[in-house]
């Protein structure tokens, strides 16, 4: 009787075991490593929370997991690792750049269904990839002076800087005000400015009657409304415009500085171009290197 019960229990458990195997089947083999369907589903959930991915999306995420496996294997081969201190430094960088506390970061991650440990593992993989690719391809990255000169010659228009203008303003609001009274206040402020009274004094007097104003900073004419641009286009430094009316207020604009248009020289942008070209080469070299890893590896996809 005991043997019969054991046989019955085994028959009941076999379908459950088979179902579990199906749930966690192997979807890719990479040399001696494997990616399971559970790992793939977890990566998909992190990439597209709350959605049902299409076949193409599953394949793309699986290809990324295959690449991560290849890089992990290569890192192990050459003894490259990522320390806990490096991961912690990366977390602190994220907190600092986004002005978050650790608690706020944990809440944001939880809203996306990501645990702090999963997030740290993701950072560890990113750091490993960065270190590995840098080690493997950095020696291949060289940018010659000729390449920099040729790039500058072909893209010189990108280094043209438009003329800029630095402005101050005083505005006399019209909402709930007598327009004629506000015009008279504006005219008085304009007369004071043109008589040589300093801007701060004129603004302080105007504020007593509800006006507003201050520095507008350095701007390009195309940043201004057509009416403002027309008023200051040819206005000399130190001069004030006539009153400019719109629906909200009457405005005075004062030009405090002008910077003429110019083209940045090759010497000014040399390092900028060098870094840009180096990054392009680094990206291409990294793709070629990764393709080389794939070609030398035994890879089977079983989607």
Phi, psi (rounded to 5 degrees) for 210:
95, 5
Q: Do 30 and 299 form a contact (C-beta atoms < 8 A)?
A: yes
In a domain, residue 239? The reply is yes
Find the mean pLDDT for residues 47-65: 77
The CA-based dihedral angle spanning residues 144, 148, 150, 152, taken in that order and rounded to the nearest 10 degrees? 180
Of 105 and 20, which is predicted with more confidence?
A: 105
Q: Do 221 and 163 form a contact (C-beta atoms < 8 A)?
A: yes
> Is the pLDDT assigned to residue 89 strictly greater than 60?
yes
**Mean pLDDT across the chain, nearest whole number?**
88
Q: What is the pLDDT of residue 53?
A: 60
In a domain, residue 280? The reply is no
> Is the pLDDT assigned to residue 166 strictly greater than 90?
yes
The CA-based dihedral angle spanning residues 273, 275, 280, 285, taken in that order and rounded to the nearest 10 degrees? 140
In a domain, residue 241? The reply is yes
Of 166 and 15, which is predicted with more confidence?
A: 166
> Is the pLDDT assigned to residue 168 strictly greater than 50?
yes
Burial of 254 (0-12, 13-18, 19+ CB in 10 A): buried
Strands (E), 39-190: 160-161, 164-173
Rounded to an integer, what distance in angstroms lies between the CA atom of residue 295 and that of residue 303?
20
In a domain, residue 99? The reply is no
Instruction: Please give the tally of structural domains in the chain.
Output: 1
> Is the pLDDT assigned to residue 9 strictly greater than 60?
no
Of 12 and 102, which is predicted with more confidence?
A: 102
pTM, to two decimals: 0.60
In a domain, residue 198? The reply is yes
Q: Of the given ranges (6-10, 126-130, 155-159, 205-209), which has the lowest mean pLDDT? A: 6-10
Report the CATH number at residue 211: 3.10.50.40
Q: Considering only CA atoms, which of 294, 301, 303, 298 is closest in space to residue 28?
A: 301
- In DSSP terms, which residues pair with 300 in a beta bridge? 29
In a domain, residue 196? The reply is yes
The pLDDT tens digits for 198-254 are 999 999 999 998 999 999 999 999 889 999 999 999 999 999 999 999 989 999 999
Strands (E), 249-290: 249-259, 262-263
Find the mean pLDDT for residues 63-92: 94
* Residue ranges making up the domain that contains 245: 163-260
């Amino acid at each position: 009787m005991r043997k019969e019960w054991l046989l019955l229990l085994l028959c009941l458990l076999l379908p459950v075991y088979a179902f579990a195997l199906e749930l966690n089947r192997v979807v890719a083999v990479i040399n001696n490593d494997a990616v399971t369907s559970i790992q793939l589903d977890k990566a998909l959930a992190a990439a597209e929370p709350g959605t049902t991915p299409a076949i193409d999306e599953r394949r793309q995420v699986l290809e990324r997991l295959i690449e991560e496996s290849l890089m992990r294997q290569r890192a192990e081969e050459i003894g490259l690792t990522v320390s806990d201190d490096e991961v912690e430094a990366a977390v602190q960088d994220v907190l600092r750049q986004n002005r978050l506390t650790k608690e706020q970061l944990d809440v944001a991650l939880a809203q996306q269904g990501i645990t702090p440990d999963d997030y740290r593992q993701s950072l560890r993989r990113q750091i490993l990839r960065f270190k590995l690719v840098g080690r493997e391809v950095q020696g291949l990255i060289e940018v010659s002076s000729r390449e920099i000169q040729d790039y500058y010659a072909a893209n010189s228009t990108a280094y043209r800087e438009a003329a800029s203008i630095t402005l101050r303003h005083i505005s006399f609001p019209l909402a709930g005000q007598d327009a004629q009274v506000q015009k008279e206040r504006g005219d008085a402020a304009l007369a004071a400015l043109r008589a040589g009274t300093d801007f701060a004094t004129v603004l302080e007097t105007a504020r007593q009657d509800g006006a507003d104003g201050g520095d507008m900073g350095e701007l390009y004419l195309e940043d201004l409304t057509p009416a403002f641009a027309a008023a200051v286009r040819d206005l000399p430094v130190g001069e004030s415009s006539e009153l400019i009316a719109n629906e909200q207020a009457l405005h005075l604009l004062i030009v405090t500085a002008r910077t003429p248009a110019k083209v940045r020289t090759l010497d000014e942008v040399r390092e900028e171009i060098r870094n840009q070209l180096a990054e392009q080469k680094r990206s291409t070299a990294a793709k070629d290197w990764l393709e080389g890893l794939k070609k030398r590896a035994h890879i089977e996809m079983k989607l």
